[in-house]
Chain A
């Protein structure tokens, strides 16, 4: 039984990691969550390590400078894969100098650029992953930012960066009310394509059975037999008119007879 528990827990981890993405959202001032102690107890200390990688930013064409730190827990799986979990982000606020440069960016509608290392274990890895946004898209009440980090194992593939909502075009010049960042982060790994279904006999049989279960709705008497009823009605009506005509024929016959006589007279 004691052996079973870690196994069960591991499988739970696998299931949770195979979800489409994991999301940890928290603001700058968000309190540091405590890692559940239970998890620490059961996970192998060797396969679970902490990593830190820094976010850097640049204003327009300036050089990159540190702007914050991501810290995360790196899980190593027995099959060799690695995944990041429990991502934390601490954002450095703008210094006064940076505020001025950012204001200039806002005026010129220029780009605010950020970058992350492409490998979190051995930064910077092959190359930096760069993303940029028009500076005017960021200010709301504070500075809204939204990161989507696309991961493949311990590698960062791409970074989507922008404000949380829409960015209206044409972009208006607007200074933020508060110079604090409101950051949201989403970690995304790749989605597995579903297997192409192979339709065997069973499925088709099931389909057929389902068809039997669902009988066609009962139609009304009129809907079923209108094509017989209408001609019948016509025949009846015809018969009725003919019956009335029969009654008239007696009188009609007499007038007809007199006409014949008249024409004979004309000749």
Chain B
């Protein structure tokens, strides 16, 4: 009974909490969702005898998908887990898609038309090795076509029908397998396909060692490179005998450098990349090599494809100016060019990375070719008959960093609204809406209303709006491309490849690291265009020199870029801007120096003024040390660079390596706005939030517990969380959770941290909230003190003062595991906050901050209830209506970004993963504006009707009075 009562109470309370769910017809009004697959690794065409022509692709985001070959739409797709990388994809029996994943240990079959999984087989694997998948066409075993999969040191033959291992082939046939041992020994195994036994084994040591890719030239020959990358080695393994034949690359081409073998599986031919040239080398009968052809620029090549009359063709694509040359040649006869097309290509797609070809028979019985190409920016295009049939911006599946930018202000004189709408249209629209709201609309009208809302006039305009609903999200992808996405409809406003081919030679392929708002003009620099700073690196190593690139947000053009000549460890935006609103940034390098940007004397003078008050910290995760640094002096002694400064170590926090390992660090967002420092309690008491920008949240676990959940016993693992002041290195809060384990996902805002971890004892996920309050200001409650000015509210705070603060914390169970957590942010920080929890199901749950409030008690007093304190429960509720992604999934969710709109109640939410999702949220409902579908017409008509009624009644009463008087 008691439970019932409390449940009822809970139900009642949860119904009083503002519900954020949408009505069905509101889907797509404020939100958009884009589906991607990622950079394509393998592609298999399925065009024969199929009504719907399709191509099966597997990608670097671990997606296997079936795409419509006519339009490029996704028929179906499956996102495998993050550590379930796909090694190969094939079509078997004409109806199954076979994928081999997880280093060759998982083999799956998917139904080709609808993508249902048919069977899954996990293959035993001993060690990590390269894995291969092959579906032999001619190997038929007992009405069954076995699939050969190699991975983890084992070769498996698996039935395509049900995934069972095949062990009874009828006729004895020998499979030759060539393997490498310790990268210097070649082994040939002859395997009886009947029993799977090794019939013969022969090995031979090659003293120089092998390296790089293998190109199998024919059924009994392969070509590899030796470890110096200067000698091509042909290995023949005819009848189980191994023979080596060495040919130095310098014999084939002059002044050769390091060679690289391109795309394997060209029959009787190997393509080698030397000195930015691609040469085709034919392998003769006795392993003799001869150069047949060479191409100047970097060339992407496809695997060979059998065309009619026992001929084999392959495609190659390379750049010539702004065009792409696509050629299809016969392998045996390189002079015969079956197809030569040149296609105009956007410069910002970069070079061609991969080519996959497919042939079809034209109406005149000649061969036609279509080519699927993957560009350097990861985009996927289908070329046919010299034109781009469709393209997909797959770079957006691997967004690494996101920032926001404003749109240009609407110019005076040209009012877009007037051009777009005539009065009649406007009235018609409102009449329809009115009908809708009075429930008079017919189904067609409802459809019309829905359509009208979807393309509502202002939504996708390229100008700033009054409420700040229209913005640009600038996304940096792993390929190093910048995209500007419009919040209205999600379209790409502009895109820019950082390493377009026209760039300097010094840094050939910079990879983007992070994105910063460089210039956000307002007030006195309105005529400047805003710009973003992209920090990149000339290599994967952290000590590689960095590259800065400044990009104009309005136009998407690069303003300037520079090789900065030092490495980039950390980029710190400073809270200072110069007269043109350019933000000052400090970049720390590996040598402990920091560099100031922009390199102007004005910036230098601003920085010199605050020189004493600039501190920064570094986290050495592997060593478990956090160091604080202060500015020392200009590094004039070492270099002449006056924008370079040396630093000194001010504090260190050393975590004992045997008991603690850093797994997560987090700071507040630097641009977060806090509306008020004071928090009023129910008993008219005042608490002051400890609002400091210099707090660092650190979570450590026992080294044993750093592995997967459940790999340790509760006694062995402990989770310790810290709040550290980054100016002085003081530990302000330290709490250890015994028997708990990571991964820790946390969010830090205002004066609170919420973190999510796993409790091994309770076998549940937990969420803990920590709130920090300032006690040094607690005496300022007296009104008289405030009136007489005897308060310390305006005194500057120094980090060197001993902090007088206290923390409150509370823990709750949470039923789901979490991928990422974010918090809403609004323009002035008045609106209450919501936690945005990216759940394991790739959805985003909006949870009111009120649920994670340490002041919650089991039975709150009447006054507390009135204030909105929810009775304490042991777990946080998951209300299905509060999924902001409603029915959609943001596959492979990796991050959530929030940005304030100009309207205080509203915040932009952008989630990225393999998919992109955007919506606008109002955590406390839109209390400061009318709803979008507010019927102005109804209001107007009501007013008009009222005025008319007043007039009519006045006339009537006049008449009546007159007749009264005449009576």
Q: Contact at B729–A158, with CB atoms within 8 Å?
A: yes
Assembled-state Cα–Cα distance A86/B872 (Å): 41
Report whether A160 and B728 are in contact in the complex, using a CB–CB cutoff of 8 Å: yes
Interface pair B800/A157, CB less than 8 Å apart: no
The answer to whether the Cβ of A143 comes within 8 Å of any Cβ in the partner chain is no
The answer to whether A162 and B657 touch (CB under 8 A), given A131-B651, A131-B728, A201-B2, is no
**Number of residue pairs across A and B with beta carbons under 8 Å?**
155
Asked if B119 is at the interface of the complex by the 8 Å CB criterion, the answer is no
Across the interface, which residues of A come within 8 angstroms of B103, CB to CB? none
Q: Cβ of A15 < 8 Å from any Cβ of B?
A: no
Q: Are A129 and B800 in contact (CB under 8 A)?
A: no
Known: A157-B653, A160-B730. A137 touches B800 (CB 8 A): yes
A4 at the interface (CB under 8 A from B): no
A10 at the interface (CB under 8 A from B): no
Interface check B858, CB cutoff 8 A: yes
Complex interface bits, B727-754 against A, C-beta within 8 A gives 1, otherwise 0: 0111100111110000000000000000
The verdict on B926 contacting chain A, using a C-beta distance below 8 Å, is no
Q: Do B858 and A207 touch (CB < 8 A)? A: yes
B796 touches A156 (CB 8 A): no
Bound CA–CA A119/B658 (angstroms): 12
Instruction: Determine if A201 and B3 form an interchain contact, defined as CB atoms under 8 angstroms apart.
Output: yes
Q: Tell whether A44 is near chain B: CB-to-CB under 8 Å.
A: no
Question: Which of A126, A132, A166 lies in contact with B798, CB distance below 8 A?
Answer: A166
Query: Known contacts A130-B652, A199-B873, A207-B2; is A194 also within 8 Å of B811 by CB?
Result: yes
Are the CB atoms of B800 and A156 closer together than 8 Å?
no
Tally of chain B residues near chain A (CB < 8 A): 54
A217 to chain B, nearest CB (A): 11
A155 at the interface (CB under 8 A from B): yes
Distance, CA A156 to CA B654, complexed state (A): 7
Residue of B730, B762, B811 ringed by the most chain A CB atoms within 10 A: B730
On whether the beta carbons of A196 and B812 are closer than 8 Å, the reply is yes
Partner of A192, one of B651, B657, B736: B736
Contacts of A170 in B (CB 8 A): 796
Q: Which residues in window 172-191 of B have CB below 8 A to A? A: none
Among the interface residues B632, B656, B736, B776, which one has the most CB atoms of the partner chain A within 10 A?
A: B656
Q: Mark B793-833, 1 if CB is under 8 A from A, else 0.
A: 00111101110000001011100000000000000000000
Contacts A203-B858, A204-B6 given; does A128 touch B801 at CB 8 Å: no
Contacts of A91 in B (CB 8 A): none
Contact A119/B656 with A158-B729, A198-B874, A207-B6 known, Cβ cut-off 8 Å: yes
Q: Which of B659, B759, B801 contacts A196 (CB 8 A)?
A: B759
Stretch at the interface among A45-53, A144-152, A227-235: A144-152
* Cβ contact within 8 Å between A196 and B874: yes
> Is A88's beta carbon under 8 Å from chain B?
no
- The answer, among A128, A193, A208, for a CB contact under 8 Å with B735, is A193
Q: Is the CB of A134 within 8 A of B800?
A: yes
Instruction: Name which residue of chain A comes closest to B768, CB basis.
Output: A193
Majority DSSP secondary structure for residues of A touching B: mixed
How far does the Cβ of A81 sit from chain B's closest Cβ, in whole Å? 10
On whether A152 and B660 interact (CB within 8 A), knowing A131-B729, A163-B802, the answer reads: yes
Check: A205 CB closer than 8 A to any chain B CB. Answer: yes
B630 in contact with A111 (CB, 8 Å)? yes
Tally of chain A residues near chain B (CB < 8 A): 57
Asked if B260 is at the interface of the complex by the 8 Å CB criterion, the answer is: no
Partner of B729, one of A118, A160, A197: A160
Bound state CA distance, A164 and B728, in angstroms? 14
A36 CB-CB contact with B under 8 Å: no
Q: How far is the CA of A131 from the CA of B651 in the complex (A)?
A: 4
Residue B61 at the chain A interface, CB threshold 8 Å: no
Given contacts A126-B656, A156-B654, contact A197 B720 (CB under 8 A): no
Chain B 593-634 near chain A by CB (<8 Å), digits 1 or 0: 000000000000000000010000000000101000010100
Q: Quick one: CB contact mask for B645-680 with A, threshold 8 Å, 1 for yes?
A: 000111111111101100000000000000000000
Instruction: Determine whether the beta carbon of A193 is less than 8 Å from that of B809.
Output: yes
In A161-203, the 8 Å CB interface with B consists of: 161-171, 188, 190-194, 196-199, 201, 203
A196-B656 contact in complex given A131-B728, A158-B729, C-beta closer than 8 Å:
no
- B734 A191 Cβ-Cβ under 8 A: yes
Check A197 against B874 for contact (C-beta < 8 Å).
yes
A61 CB–B CB distance under 8 Å: yes
Partner of A166, one of B653, B776, B811: B776
CA distance A202 to B653 in the complex (A): 45
> Knowing A153-B659, A199-B873 touch, does A210 contact B859 (C-beta < 8 A)?
yes
Known: A148-B731, A152-B655, A197-B874. 17 other contacts (CB 8 A): A111-B630, A113-B650, A118-B654, A130-B650, A130-B729, A131-B651, A131-B729, A148-B730, A150-B734, A158-B729, A191-B735, A193-B738, A198-B762, A199-B873, A203-B858, A204-B3, A207-B859
A-B pairs with beta carbons under 8 Å apart, 9 shown: A131-B651, A133-B800, A137-B800, A158-B729, A164-B802, A190-B735, A193-B735, A193-B738, A204-B3
* Contacts from B to A (Cβ < 8 Å): 1-3, 5-6, 612, 623, 625, 630, 632, 648-657, 659-660, 720, 724, 728-731, 734-738, 759, 762, 766, 768, 776, 795-798, 800-802, 809, 811-813, 858-859, 872-874
